[in-house]
Amino acid sequence: MKEFSYTITDPQGVHARPAGVLVKEAAKYQSSITIEKDDKSGDAKRIFSVMGLAVKCGNTIRVKIEGPDEEEAARSVEEFFKANL
């Protein structure tokens, strides 16, 4: 299992547009990708799950990736967060 933490820097937090792009990025991989904020977690491959976390600017999230392509998925998803959120 791979995991990393990331603090959201986008002033609008994780809103609909980047959440949709994140879901498309996560869907490219077989591994399960979970985002955790506080005591809640959501499947990064489901838009309502991601939006339901209500991640705001300044929040730190933890992303966990587990599966056959976890190395590549972790690298790609972390790059996505750094570039977009």
Q: Residues 13, 15, 46, 47: which is the catalytic one?
A: 15
Rounded Cα–Cα distance for residues 30 and 27 (Å): 8
Convert 22-56 to b/e letters by CB count within 10 Å (16 or more is b).
bbebbeebebbbbbbbeeeebebbebebbbebebe
> What DSSP designation does 19 have?
H
**Residue appearing with tokens 């991640």:** 55
Residue 15 appears among annotated catalytic residues:
yes
- Active-site residues, by number, are 15
